[in-house]
Structure 1
Amino acid sequence: MMQAARERWDFLTKPPGSLGKLEEIGIRLAGIQGTVFPKLEQRAVVVMCGDHGVTAEGVSAFPQEVTGLMIQNFVNGKAAVNVLARQVGCAVHVVDVGSRVEGELPGVRSKKVRAGTANFAQGPAMTPEEAQRAIAVGIEMVEELHQQGVQAVALGEMGIGNTTPSAALAAVLTGRPLAELVGRGTGIDDEKVLHKTRVIEQALAVNRPNALDPLDVLAKVGGLEIAGLVGVVLGAYQRKMVVVVDGVIAAAAALVACRMESGAQEVLFASHLSQEPAHRVLLQEMGLEPILMLDMRLGEGTGAVLALPILEASCRLVAEMATFADLGLDNT
């Protein structure tokens, strides 16, 4: 189907390859959906939310309570991802898979596995069973979206401190040194970046995650919302749905999913390249090229939502442009 799509693109009324990455996007979409004319009319962003015990180590510029405040902000439709999602006609689904918010908030899907991870600088963030349950939450969410006709899922997340487990996951799964991976997250200074690096080094020494066992790595130095996104990727791959990866946290989840199921990479699109240094490494590890370069580092799914119109543009071009045959010319 990808070959058929490439032939269609080459016979549209333009020089071959002149639409650049839009053509490659369209060809990949054709392969995923099994048609030369893919469609992305129904889109959704899944915002997985969870808290992190490692915030007790002072790795974030914001207190843990901000996670709960932002969950309410999503529900109120006032967060950045809500604004951008409204602009592009994308539904926002907020899932609490592991926050420390007490009780249930209206408008939030409460699928809490536990109230935040443990401090992974002192021991495992969670048990393998808890990680599997969080993954199952993501798979279940995608199944529901698939039944609603959703064709593309953007990965979003919220969890104060979650660039720390993302860097830890990147270090273990790529083998790259932490000095190349640890970033400023919510805006910490150079001294705190060094402290954050030392905390992750301690976590890796304490937990000794097995790089050949992605579930072990995820459970020991990951996060509940990250595990939820792993499930979203795996579920989407099973259903041949498009997955648009956001920033470093979503990319870490995507790489874990790819290590669990190598074929999952086929449905992934990298929306943008964030300012977090681990993001570039993670995308390279998956062979993904970012669509946008906007120097963003917010998360929430903002970059992924912004990239959706680019993917839709590719679908429209291949379906609505004339071919040379339409002009009475052959394809020679």
Structure 2
Amino acid sequence: MSRIDLDDFSDLIERPDGGVRREAEARRERLVVPPGSLGRLDELGEWLSAAQGVVPVRPVERPRVILFAGDHGVAGLGVSARPAGGATELVRAVLEGGSPVSVLARRLDVPVRVVDMALDCAPDTFPEDVVRHRVRRGSGRVDIEDALTLEEAEAAFLAGVAVADEEADSGTDLVVLGDVSVGGTTAASVLVAALCGTDASVVTGRGGQPIDDLAWMRKCAAVRDALRRARPVLGDQMQLLATVGGADLAAMTGFLLQCAVRKLPVILDGVVAAACALVGQRVAFRAPDWWLAGHGSGEPGQAKALDRMALEPLLEQGVKAGEGVGALLALPLVRAAAALAAELPEKPAAGKESGDEAPEAGQDAGQDAGQDTAEA
């Protein structure tokens, strides 16, 4: 049994301030632009205002991309277009600025942080600030063995909690959450299938770099076999992460829950982030109120998880690159919603308009009366 009492998160996590949201909605009614004319931007601005606990909403000034990285043993079955252990090269590309997320982050002036939880490389491959939370080298092959020991799952989960605290304490005001992994979508598909009670084929997609039909069939078989191992531990979310998750997924789950505790909004990326969010919802049902679905990736597992959490993607661009790319594309939309909610002027009050006109009418009447008296 886990030594971490996950019930604490349910007690600690509150919903975004409902009173502030109602105040933000009332202010929206007073703006010069008619209600409804800005579509979901209205809803986004009100959500962010409630998350911040203030009206009008503050601009998003210190966002950050957080990427949890790890390799998964199941990739050795040929379930990914990338070679097993290939996440190391993906991380190197992010750090050197040559990946899609790096390009977008530079353009949007958003810092990127990579957290190595279980890359299949030597610990000294990357700088200390990347590897200091690492739990192990690669996660186990979930179709035949546990991804982690329970102790490793707890350590990874607590590492995610620590990263959330570090970000909240440093002034980060919104997180774009993604993963850098090979085999991670397979583990994520297992979690979604287990928590939603569906078959492997319903939630298994073709990954960030699309695979052919034979590889997809191998992936479905791996998810099916891992699902048999997941079902007996569905009542224990930490044991579930240890059995069929992985160090990066356990860390992302802890990170998401602690962000909700710290009232730090998060934009979710693809199926891996969605699967971890689904585990987090099982732990604390109010937690998803602090998360946005950045985009729809086309992965069936992501769609299933988001539907279960009642989260509607902000964008539908078919981005499958992972690494937080789709979620980062949604950041300008969130910033735009905040700017519109805060900076659009309110309509002049009706009483103020009539009050402005009344003295002029009175003055005219007085002048006319004075003129009449003088003439008399």
TM-score of the alignment, normalized to the shorter chain, above 0.5: yes
Q: Report the CA distance shift for 1:329/1:73 in structure 2 as closer, same or farther (over 3 A).
A: farther
Matched, 1:20 2:31: no
Verify the 8 A CA contact 1:125 1:221 in the aligned structure 2.
yes
Counterpart position of 1:269: 292
Gaps of 5+ in 2: 1-19, 355-376
Larger CA deviation: 123-132 vs 20-29: 123-132
- How many angstroms does 1:37 deviate by? 2.4
Larger CA deviation: 319-328 vs 39-48: 319-328
| 1:30 equivalent among 43, 49, 56 | 49
- How many angstroms does 1:72 deviate by? 1.1
| 2:135 equivalent among 113, 116, 119 | 113
Counterpart position of 2:236: 213
Measure, in 2, the Cα distance between the counterparts of 1:134 and 1:102: 18
Q: Report the CA distance shift for 1:329/1:248 in structure 2 as closer, same or farther (over 3 A).
A: farther
Counterpart position of 2:172: 150
Secondary structure at the counterpart of residue 24 of structure 2: helix
The amino acid of 1:89's aligned partner reads D
Counterpart position of 2:87: 67
Matched, 1:50 2:70: yes
Secondary structure at the counterpart of residue 295 of structure 2: coil
Verify the 8 A CA contact 1:44 1:90 in the aligned structure 2.
yes
Measure, in 2, the Cα distance between the counterparts of 1:257 and 1:38: 27
- How many angstroms does 1:154 deviate by? 0.8
Measure, in 2, the Cα distance between the counterparts of 1:38 and 1:110: 35
Counterpart position of 2:112: 92
Matched, 1:319 2:342: yes
Per-residue CA distance 1:148-185 (angstroms, 9 max, x = gap): 11110111111111110011000001112222111111
Verify the 8 A CA contact 2:66 2:178 in the aligned structure 1.
yes
Per-residue CA distance 1:130-153 (angstroms, 9 max, x = gap): 112111111111211112111101
Identity across matched positions, percent:
36
The amino acid of 2:100's aligned partner reads A
Measure, in 1, the Cα distance between the counterparts of 2:220 and 2:309: 24
Verify the 8 A CA contact 1:90 1:305 in the aligned structure 2.
no
- How many angstroms does 1:329 deviate by? 5.8
Q: Report the CA distance shift for 1:244/1:207 in structure 2 as closer, same or farther (over 3 A).
A: closer
- How many angstroms does 1:326 deviate by? 7.3
Measure, in 2, the Cα distance between the counterparts of 1:146 and 1:16: 33
Counterpart position of 2:326: 303
Matched, 1:179 2:210: no
Greater share of helix residues, 1 or 2?
2
- How many angstroms does 1:63 deviate by? 0.7
| 2:280 equivalent among 247, 257, 270 | 257
How many residues align? The count is: 330
The amino acid of 1:260's aligned partner reads V
Measure, in 2, the Cα distance between the counterparts of 1:175 and 1:135: 24
Larger CA deviation: 22-31 vs 100-109: 100-109
Larger CA deviation: 180-189 vs 104-113: 104-113
Per-residue CA distance 1:181-206 (angstroms, 9 max, x = gap): 11111321112212211111112224
The amino acid of 2:181's aligned partner reads G
Written as runs of structure 1 = structure 2, the 5 A alignment for 1:185-196 is 185=207, 186-196=209-219
Measure, in 1, the Cα distance between the counterparts of 2:23 and 2:235: 37
Measure, in 1, the Cα distance between the counterparts of 2:97 and 2:288: 31
Matched, 1:132 2:148: no
| 2:306 equivalent among 261, 271, 283 | 283
Larger CA deviation: 121-130 vs 3-12: 121-130
Counterpart position of 1:41: 61
Measure, in 1, the Cα distance between the counterparts of 2:247 and 2:156: 6
Secondary structure at the counterpart of residue 108 of structure 1: helix
Per-residue CA distance 1:264-320 (angstroms, 9 max, x = gap): 111000000002111111100111000000011111011111111111111111111
Secondary structure at the counterpart of residue 290 of structure 1: coil
Per-residue CA distance 1:191-241 (angstroms, 9 max, x = gap): 221221111111222454422322222111112111111122112111101
Measure, in 2, the Cα distance between the counterparts of 1:207 and 1:275: 24
Verify the 8 A CA contact 1:209 1:220 in the aligned structure 2.
no
- How many angstroms does 1:41 deviate by? 0.8
| 2:258 equivalent among 226, 235, 242 | 235
Q: Report the CA distance shift for 1:184/1:129 in structure 2 as closer, same or farther (over 3 A).
A: same
